[in-house]
Amino acid sequence: MSGTGIASAAADAYPVGSRWTTLPADTWWICWRELKRLWGQKIRIFMTLIQPLIWLALMGNMFQRIAAIPGFPARSYLDYMAPGIVTMVTLFGGIFGGLGIVWDRRLGYLQKLLAAPISRTAVVTGKMLAIAVQTAFQALVIFALALAMGVHFAAGVAGVPVLLLLAVLLSQVFAGISLCLGAVLTSHEALMAVVNFLTMPLMFTSNAMMPLDMMPAWLAKLAVLNPLSYAINPMRSLFLTGWDWAGLARGLVVLALSGLIMTAAASSLFRRSMA
């Protein structure tokens, strides 16, 4: 058997295919790995469930009397806070979710992935998809807990998938940011420092915990630039008043576009980091 014979046989056996045609499948299998990993670490699942529960119980009670302030837009602080908890959990899940890529690089797993004939973009989109699945699951759990604690959901059953969609889109923005950082910063310590620096200001410059018109003017201006606000406003409407179509459309469009931009940025930075 001549060498060229082997070459053509191999080419026949493994369809060459362009990088883009395998993107959906590659994305799914990268995501499959992430979900399997998560499933294997039951303690992680447990913590992602227990954390929102504590927040709901603690913050709901602690800030109970804020709702009594004249002009506060909800009948109880818990009603007001529930969408805030959903976005908060989404923020943390998203922004920490992409950091695993730094470990993959350290452990040599990333090189192994990149030596395989997969789409380079799939390494990014696969991780983002896993974060989306995780976020949807968490949001659903928080929603159920909130209902059990007496929170009122004005939009009804049809509002639930919309709530989850908003959470998922938001998670993609932060997952994208996280993966961008992971592509640029290869030291885990530096990465943690930057992420911790980002999360708290993101929380407090949004209306997750306070209505915009109760904030100082400068903070309210910052909140308009914060992607969190674009998820919280429509979510809050779903909880408090029902269907606010204009706000909902604006939120979905802004989040979807930001998510796409962050995906593109992460893929591009990531490709460059491997050159």
Contacts with another protein, residue ranges (CB under 8 A): 1-3, 6-7, 10, 13-19, 22, 25-26, 29, 32-33, 36-37, 40-41, 105-109, 111-118, 186-187, 273-275
Min dist CB 172 to another protein, Å, is: 23
26 or 79: CB nearest another protein: 26
Q: Which two tokens stand for residue 140?
A: 């659903």
118 or 136: CB nearest another protein: 118
Min dist CB 25 to another protein, Å, is: 7
Calpha distance 229→231 (Å, rounded): 5
Q: Which two tokens stand for residue 247?
A: 């706000």
Residue ranges of alpha helices (H) inside the chain are 3-13, 23-40, 42-62, 77-97, 100-106, 109-115, 120-148, 159-184, 188-204, 217-225, 227-240, 245-273
Min dist CB 24 to another protein, Å, is: 12
Min dist CB 50 to another protein, Å, is: 21
10 or 54: CB nearest another protein: 10
120 or 250: CB nearest another protein: 120
Min dist CB 134 to another protein, Å, is: 15
Instruction: Tell the residue number behind the tokens 């410059």, with chain if given.
Output: 205
33 or 152: CB nearest another protein: 33
Cα 176 to Cα 61, 72, 79, 100, 234: the distances in Å are: 34, 34, 30, 13, 22
